[in-house]
Amino acid sequence: MSEEPQESGAVDPTPLVLLHAEGQAPMAWEDVVVSLYGSRRLLTPWVPGLRPTEKQVVPLADSAAALDQQLMLEGMQQVDLCGLSYGAMVATRLAADFPERVRRLVLIGGQVRPPRMALRVQGAALKLMPASRLAEAGVSKERLLQAMEVTRAADLTDALPQVQAPTLVLVGAKDKTSQPGARALADGIPGARLRIVDGAGHALNEVAPAALVDLLRDFLDT
């Protein structure tokens, strides 16, 4: 989904690309997009590998490369990039592998080496969930299970020192599972800042969109 917000004669700020989490569709960014509409060009693509019609989830590096190609096709030479959870991991990989493409980076609830025990518990619960319940939100149960397998094997330790973009790492105060990963991201990416969002859980785009919009504006527009 792409939005064209700029009025004639306005100076275009850097486009903002928003990457959804596993278990979400691009429409999960709706409240954020509505608030930012008119301020910059926005792109809310399917994270490569998570679209329900795709045959399988691809490794993070391949997902990042596919997204980089999509940005080039969209005419976006450089973007501000924001990702949530699995989307944050793809964003980290893209910023490391294609540093010229990313001006500023925002990572929400991301991980460096995801906690495998937590993923096993989540996977067991997901297998019991009716596929129809996820389909109502535009999410494929099969793709989601595959994404969890890719996530379980991921290790972005080598990618962090390669990230050149100024980076803001966000995590909800109630998202205890993601906080160690957020700290590892902030510690590993040169110059990265960590911000814990009071009263919020994991999916900031859904549970705290107003706070997230304020944080994005403050970080991206300064």
Residue-level pLDDT at 33: 97
Residue-level pLDDT at 181: 94
User: Structural domains in the chain?
Assistant: 2-220 (3.40.50.1820)
Alpha-carbon distance of 166 to 36, in angstroms, equals 21
Residue-level pLDDT at 134: 60
Residue-level pLDDT at 53: 83
CA angle 81, 83, 89 (to 5 degrees): 110
Alpha-carbon distance of 33 to 13, in angstroms, equals 15
Residue-level pLDDT at 136: 64
Residue-level pLDDT at 50: 85
* Tens-digit pLDDT string for the chain (222 aa): 555 444 444 557 999 999 999 888 999 999 999 999 999 999 999 999 888 888 777 888 999 999 999 999 999 999 999 999 999 999 999 999 999 999 999 999 999 987 665 655 565 565 556 666 666 667 666 776 677 677 777 889 999 999 999 999 999 999 998 999 999 999 999 999 999 999 999 999 999 999 999 999 999 998
Residue-level pLDDT at 105: 98
Amino acid at 81: L
